[in-house]
Structure 1
């Protein structure tokens, strides 16, 4: 087996592992298992093998998986820098390692020192960026890792700007969603799509937090629909940008529907499953938007 196959295998292993970390982190939050190991880190309640409580098992499993994935990513980093030929792969693996270490440090700090909900919400956002870097790294070794297809149209400055603005705005919406989780505000709006039976509810407390997140998600849908229509008019269907725009639209619609599912399942047994689905979809959407950002950078170099 040549080294390029090993690079591809470790890159995909890093991506799958980082995705698992992201989902497990959301599980820790949803089950309120963040204090399952007390104030100890990296041990769990002073033990290497923790007591078999549900909270400690969930929290310690998350730590264990993070450690294993960290080792895989480190091996991947060495392989890419020693044997890799593409500069973008080195940027992606370096970014993945940086944000993985950063999210691990923030996770440890959250255990040892109590953090505000605003700070805890940032932890998910950083994990999401780390996953996006591993996704981009894995795509390097697929057909999507090439630059814009030959049949495609170089991106205008307006489209490139739109890609970056939508991606940044999506990250803000993601942060708001994480803030809803960490403030336990999910019950602030009963019913969907209306909030407590009103188009504009009483904007106080948890209701205000959830309503802002819903409004942000609705605007994100509008922006992505507009972007898709612009791209469809100017590019061929086989173009990577068009395909990414199409999947962005599909995923944002599914994400909003899953948000409604989360609300309607509040208080039922399937609430946790709905929440995990919501996390999976937003991770996929942010990954696709990150890929669009890379295409925008490549297009700028090509025509600039």
Structure 2
């Protein structure tokens, strides 16, 4: 039984890796303009299960669809075996529902992008959903892993200000929403074509590009806001590190990926949007989204227990250690 449940965790890890590869192939698809490599046909490719004629765009789009189908099947099997059957808790079932809904929406938006001419804001939303499905699968895998390792909730009476955890939860939510906004806005910039006109770093130096300067300036201001929020989050998590060490580590990862994201953006500008720089940039964005989601989820688990355990002693509360 233990060996079987270990294999379930590995299945979740494979599903997470599969979704990351799916997102990576989707970025390559977007960058190379291969989204119509199979024509306006879905799920078939040029009206066939296996296309008779091949070119670079067809290969990229066809491989993208094959990997997507494999990753989705892995996710469905993982959620069926691991989540709903063996780990029937509210948190796990919520993550299962979120994972399945997100991956179905991702596949649906991908089909819409092929069958219809989608505006940039729809394509940007597709990227946001792709990051959501990837992050939800990672969160579910971590949740199952913790249960398997018997790291059950243990109530500890630790002197900590009740407002402190509530404040951290609010900051983690604000940080996550800012990450989502930054990624969505960056995806919109990519699909609208303005990214190729960006010059100068760390300050924009575009001239004569109309809206290009202001779009670039807003993009960098959002990134700066995210960096400031990350620093405040790490500072607050440091105060809670003895109670919830994972909050501190997760906050550090979020800050680290934000910094890497900013420098990879500089690399994109200096390399004039090369494929390598684009792939590095969106890969860091994937892990940034996942780490921010992890911190928010763990902060909620503490905040939920704090609200649930009543009455609360003055400036004291019970904290759950996962």
TM-score w.r.t. length of structure 1: 0.90
How many residues matched? 298
**CA distance 1:281–1:204, change in 2 (3 Å):** same
TM-superposition CA deviations, 1:36-83 (whole Å, max 9, x none): 111111111222223321111111111111111111111112112122
TM-superposition CA deviations, 1:144-172 (whole Å, max 9, x none): 98669968967521111111011011101
Q: Which residue of 2 aligns with 1:221?
A: 227
Distance 2:168 2:197 in 1: 37
**CA distance 1:149–1:192, change in 2 (3 Å):** farther
Q: Is the 8 A contact 1:121 1:175 kept in 2?
A: yes
Distance 1:101 1:175 in 2: 19
Distance 1:126 1:233 in 2: 33
**CA distance 1:236–1:152, change in 2 (3 Å):** farther
1:210 aligned to 195, 199, 216, which one? 216
The answer to whether structure 1 residue 162 and structure 2 residue 171 are counterparts is: yes
The answer to whether structure 1 residue 70 and structure 2 residue 67 are counterparts is: no
Distance 2:278 2:243 in 1: 33
Distance 1:132 1:156 in 2: 23
Shift of 1:203: 7.7
Q: Which residue of 1 aligns with 2:97?
A: 94
Distance 2:169 2:58 in 1: 45
Distance 2:278 2:153 in 1: 35
**CA distance 1:44–1:152, change in 2 (3 Å):** farther
Q: Is the 8 A contact 2:20 2:134 kept in 1?
A: yes
List alignment gaps of at least 5 residues for structure 1. none
Distance 1:37 1:152 in 2: 61
Q: Is the 8 A contact 1:189 1:211 kept in 2?
A: no
In terms of Rg, which structure is larger? Answer: 2
CA-based RMSD of the aligned residues comes to 2.3
Mapping 1:172-183, distance limit 5 Å: 172-183=181-192
Distance 1:202 1:244 in 2: 42
TM-score w.r.t. length of structure 2: 0.86
List alignment gaps of at least 5 residues for structure 2. 308-322
1:232 aligned to 235, 238, 262, which one? 238
Distance 1:255 1:203 in 2: 25
Q: SS where residue 156 of structure 1 aligns?
A: helix
Runs of 4+ in 1 over 4 A off after TM superposition: 143-155
